[in-house]
A and B are shown apart, each in its own frame.
Chain A
Amino acid sequence: MSTATPPKAIDGTIGFADERFGTAGFLRGKMKKVFPDHWSFMLGEIALYSFIILLATGTFLTLWFKPSMGEVIYHGSYTKLDGVNMSEAYDSTLRISFDVRGGLLMRQIHHWAAVLFLASIMVHMLRVFFTGSYRKPREVNWLIGLGLFTLGILEGLFGYSLPDDLLSGTGLRITQGVMQSIPVVGTYIFYFAFGGGFPGHDFISRLYTVHVLLIPGILLALVGAHFMILWHQGHTQFSGKNRTEKNVIGKPFFPVFMIKAGAFFMFTFAVTALLGTFAQINPIWLFGPYTPDSITAGSQPDFYMGFLEGALRIMPNWETNLWGHTIPWNVLVPALLPLGLIMTGAALWPFIEQWATGDKKIHNLADRPRNAPFRTAVGMTAVTFYGMLWLAGGNDILADKFHVSLYATTWFFRGAVFVGPVIAYVVTKRLCVGLQRSDAAELHHGVEAGVITMLPSGEFVEMHQPVKEDAEAVLRGKQELPAIEDAGEDANGIPAPSSRGPLGKARKALNNAFTADDISIGNGHGNGHGNGHGEHPEAGTGDHKELSRG
């Protein structure tokens, strides 16, 4: 400990705070907190910074926006709409765009930041999933993240619905149609939400409160919890030299990570400002005010709504009419099933994995996706399912750009939404196994040195070299996937009680799925779970000769 004293301003402040809150003791342990370094760890940061940008620009917009469906006649700067009947919401959005200095810029930054917010959350979630970073002790933070994602989608939808232009009104009309189709209570939900028929006079002002107060409040609380849990539990790190489950290697929070994070925030702000400057987004003045009997062709929602839109488009027109009641599967299934499937699956996954593998250990080392083939393959299955629905949401654009029949694209996606995920599963799994084998081979035979040697027999071979230390640490970081004990059978071939019954069998089957394609990097004895890839040199055939194909 040095005896240095910081400048009086800092010393005085800390002194003031310390005598009242014990600040120094609290901060002492925090200042040198280590955050491990990896490019993929910045993805969540982008989401955080976009959120801050959203709060700042959103507050600016509230100063002029009038969340009212009251009708006015426009007489603003945009002469093409002069004298047109419109809602105050649309009128004030036009005024923000054309009559408030910097208003258009803030609107566009706000919208771009919303897009970036959801995009970065998605990629961040994929990183967390594919590296197994949701495992104990981080399951709760994973669930909070899913909550943030779902609320973020809703917040985005509500946000672009507020200006009451033709495009946003069409989005609301679809939302209303979906509401109305909910069995038993649908019409009541619709009438309560809209204060009567569609579009009514209440919805925009109600939406506004939800958009600027309720959801942001919840988001802020969840973001706070997400970040505090992260801070408390520490960030995961990838395996590497000196890195273990029990330590963390990196630069200290103060000063390195703090300034780095600050720089990154500025980069995020610069990117959204750049997009807000040059990339036009949601030019509401081109769409005109909303009327329920107008529409433009090629209407597209924001990208994060695309998968729901796609699901609505490709669903066959099934509807059940029974005893005077209508159950419109053609609306209910696409509106609820894809989101429900993906979110429920994602929420349950950490617990399913724990149950199937019996792995209750604390994990601070992130997996490489290849080392968990089942998880990675299931993840890619979900990604493909989502991706196909998302593409289907733009089938009219695809049909137009690629000059194919619109109906053909619909039929294509009706098939692809089922076939694509299966292909993704199989291909991903094969890729993972292949990569694992190549890792194992690298560990045991080394890497090609680029040096060709002639053997006494006249044969040419390439020299192999042991993997470098750092790289080896990465390869050795692979964790054996735990098979649950085959509590299986006793001496008489009677299965143990725990593995009987449908649940026990399901668990065993899942466990097999998790462990089946695990290529051991074990010391010297490859256990090749034989997948018919015999042509490849099996991992660890024992001898550590330098020439693998001698």
Chain B
Amino acid sequence: MTDNNETNGAPSDEEGRAPKRVIGTPPPPPTHDLLPDDTGGAEGTGGYQLDEKKARAAERAAGAFFVLTFVAGIAFIVFYAVWPGHVGNINRATSSNYALGISLTLAFLGLAVGMTIWVRHLMTSKEIIQERHELSSPPEDRQVFNEYFQQGVQESGITQRRFLRRTLLLASAPLGLLPLVLLRDLGPLPEKKLRHTAWKNGTRLVVDGTGQPLKASDFNSPGGIITVVPEGAQNNLDDIAKAAVLLINLPPDQMKVKKGRENWHVGGIVAYSKICTHVGCPAALYEQTTHHILCPCHQSTFDALDSAKVIFGPAARPLPQLPIGVNSEGYLVATSDFHEPIGPSFWERGKSKV
């Protein structure tokens, strides 16, 4: 926002000859002849002379913009109060947003432009040179401060009276801890809660959203994938946050079943924790042709065929597998909880086998 005052005069001869070059920071406008160097700097009172004709034009322009603000302000109020269709559905909200937003924008814009014209074309203030004041105090101030300080310390007796000083320090120590202690009831201790989920032996797998229990025969399309949660936990977000499971129907002949997990799947139907082992986003994308599970947050990729081991991305551990089976009625059930903590890593993760 450099000033372009009209009264700067015609370009000098030198400017006429020399090619116009801007070197780095554009220099200030050639106002040196206007600097009231000898009229007392900051206290100078004289201003520019405006070209009255141009000034009147500028005044009219600024005024027009102020009128625009007035009109836009009225329009805003009228839209708000009179127009019936503001709310109720998305289309109304959209047009209301346009009506109110455009009038509000114009109201501010009118003021902004009007004020800018005012500053640039109607103000007669000159550029002034101001001396900067010294930031540091005179040396005697420092000296006097030092003396007063020493004197005050002496008078207070804090340096001589050791017992006073030490007990004062002692007294403040527990006070500092109080606010921390008071925060203790913010939440329960984590204990072993991160190690367990709502899955238990015999818990039926129900479809997320509908709560329908599943039979293996309901889920027989190869390459199928569905999110399931423990029956009874459908409406508990805290449970779902730990227990959400991806049920995938894999071709049994391509599966690499890990030792000890031979009976964790039901004819190729496997269940992996849906909570990514990186920072806990739901690893929800599944590519049928490659059988890769991808977490859309940070792109950790897991191989569903191979115990959901990590094949790319920042996750360090495979998605834990939930052992599943079929109950007497033919429904898919968990045969136990996860055998390891699900979700992001934490300090105590490997600690106990409970």
Contacts and interface: CB of A to CB of B under 8 A. Distances in A.
A328 interface: yes
A186 B347 contact: yes
Given A34-B42, A295-B281, A450-B19, 18 more contacts: A32-B130, A38-B2, A39-B2, A98-B89, A101-B87, A102-B100, A180-B344, A192-B187, A255-B123, A260-B116, A263-B118, A273-B104, A277-B102, A292-B241, A314-B314, A317-B310, A319-B317, A465-B18
B285 interface: yes
Contact of B244 (A260, A292, A442): A292
A472 B18 CA distance: 14
Interface string A254-288: 01100110111011011001101110000001000
Nearest to A335: B279
B193 A197 contact: yes
B123 A313 contact: no
A318 interface: yes
B227 A293 contact: yes
Given A191-B188, A240-B27, A267-B112, A313 B97 contact: no
B204 interface: no
A293 B315 contact: no
Contacts of B115: 259-260, 262-263, 266
Given A174-B297, A278-B101, A317-B313, A269 B279 contact: no
A294 B278 contact: no
A392 B14 CA distance: 52
Contacts of A37: 1-3, 28
* Interface magnitude class on chain A: 35 or more
A62 B1 CA distance: 37
B173 to A, nearest CB: 22
12 contacts: A98-B88, A184-B347, A190-B190, A196-B187, A199-B238, A251-B125, A266-B112, A309-B298, A318-B316, A364-B132, A442-B23, A447-B18
A104 B93 contact: yes
Given A104-B96, A295-B284, A174 B279 contact: yes
Interface string B306-335: 000010111111000000000000000000
Nearest to A249: B129
A247 B130 contact: yes
B30 A197 contact: no
A199 B237 contact: yes
A187 B351 CA distance: 13
B142 interface: no
A401 B298 CA distance: 17
Contact of A77 (B17, B88, B131, B343): B88
Interface of A: 1-2, 32-34, 37-39, 42, 77-79, 85, 97-102, 104-105, 108, 137, 170, 173-174, 176-178, 180-188, 190-200, 202, 233-234, 238, 240-242, 245-252, 255-256, 259-260, 262-264, 266-267, 269-270, 273-274, 276-278, 285, 291-299, 309, 312-319, 321, 324-328, 330-331, 334, 362, 364, 368, 370, 395-396, 406-407, 410, 439, 442, 447-450, 465, 467-468, 470-471, 473-475
B88 A238 contact: no
Nearest to B228: A293
B222 interface: no
Contacts of A240: 25, 27-28
B350 A186 contact: no
Contacts of B104: 105, 273, 277
A177 B100 CA distance: 41
A449 B296 contact: no
Given A191-B187, A263-B115, A475 B345 contact: no
Nearest to B101: A277
Interface in B1-46: 1-3, 14-15, 17-19, 21, 23-25, 27-28, 30, 32, 35, 42-43, 45
Given A98-B88, A470-B30, A277 B190 contact: no
A193 B297 contact: no
Given A183-B347, A277-B105, A251 B297 contact: no
Given A100-B87, A273-B105, A293-B240, A252 B125 contact: yes
Interface string B50-91: 000000000000000000000000000000100000111110
Give chain B's interface secondary structure class: loop
A276 B101 contact: yes
B271 to A, nearest CB: 13
A468 to B, nearest CB: 6
A42 B1 CA distance: 9
Interface string B216-243: 0000000000010100000101101110
B25 A238 contact: yes
Nearest to A393: B298
A260 B119 contact: yes
B189 interface: yes
Contacts of B126: 251
B97 A104 contact: yes
B163 interface: no
B299 interface: yes
Contacts of B118: 259, 263
A196 B191 CA distance: 11
B83 to A, nearest CB: 9
A269 B109 CA distance: 8
Contact of B19 (A100, A238, A448): A448
B282 A292 contact: yes
Contact of A293 (B109, B282, B351): B282
A315 B314 contact: yes
B279 A468 contact: no
Contact of B208 (A293, A318, A321): A293
Nearest to B243: A293
Contacts of B189: 188, 191
